[in-house]
Amino acid sequence: MNHFKTILVVALAVSAIPAAGSAQVRGTGMGNLARNPALLSMQTTDRSAAAYVRYRALDDTNVDYESSLPIDVGQPSTVNAGGVIAYSIKRSGSVLGFAFGEMGDDLVSLRESKATYSPSYIEKENEKIFETYPSIAAALALPLTDGSSIGFQVIVTTGYKRTDKTKDYFNIITPIASLDTQKTDQSISASAGFGYLLRTQNTQAGFLLRSGTASLKRQTFEYDHQDIDTPIASRSGSDSTPAKIYYSESPQFTVGGCASLKGRN
């Protein structure tokens, strides 16, 4: 039976005065930048900033597996952390904003798990997975008239994932062999967006067109096999895949609006 034990959850949001201007750059900087970049034009101050930090650690209890072989699965643990810092500046009606941090994936993630298998020999496995996906975003809002504006946004994300796995083999208590592997995934992705905003006294409407996401990915693999009984059989080496471009997310179009019902029956 699984259950999750939350060790610590921290969420901190800090907004600069005034709140209205900060809310816009905060909305642009956080999440997937789903908000229309044209909304930055609503900023009423010359400068605005926002930030948040989060941390979460989880421990999973032992899991029972149905198997014909004796298996002892250890207690896996996961640590996730993230945050965003955003800043915007207004000049002659236009607003330029920047944000750095997580935008979709965790900024930092670390997972470790262990397992012991006992067929005719004992096999102990330890796996560590480290991931980080920092993003940087830029958004520019330009006023068209008193009630309308357009906005542009660009998001660039670098990805790094490393999986270290160690397997030790024992003849009861005597070590006989070991295998260390390391797989590394590296990527860089980019997407762009164009937005429009129209405002009147009681209504607000707009749309956001996003290009989709293009990613350049590459993978490397290294291994080191040590045979204690027969050292001549020990082997080590590495290999890698060529860098390739993938279109990992299709274009998106979002439209929406709102109207004030105040004073209406």
CA-to-CA distance for 248 and 189, rounded, in angstroms?
9
* pLDDT surpassing 70 at residue 27: no
Residue spans of the domains in the chain: they are 4-63+72-254
What pLDDT, on the 0 to 100 scale, is given for residue 67?
Answer: 53
AA identity, residue 55: Y
Other Cβ atoms closer than 10 A to 142: 17
**pLDDT number for residue 111:** 92
pLDDT for 85-139, tens place per residue? 999 999 888 999 999 998 878 899 999 988 887 767 788 899 999 999 999 999 9
Interval 7-30 mean pLDDT: 32
* pLDDT of 23: 39
Q: Determine the pLDDT at residue 2.
A: 36
pLDDT confidence of residue 186: 96
Q: What is the pTM of this model?
A: 0.76
Is pLDDT above 80 for 42?
yes
Most confidently predicted of 29-43, 47-61, 111-125, 130-144: 130-144
For residues 78-90, give the mean pLDDT.
91
Measure Cα distances from 80 to 29, 63, 106, 128, 133 in Å.
19, 21, 7, 14, 12
For residue 162, CA distances in Å to 21, 39, 101, 132, 182 come to: 39, 38, 20, 9, 7
Mean pLDDT of 35-59: 85
Q: Could you report the per-residue pLDDT of 173-229, keeping only the tens digit for each?
A: 788 899 999 999 999 999 999 999 998 888 889 999 999 999 999 999 999 999 988
Q: Average pLDDT of the chain?
A: 80
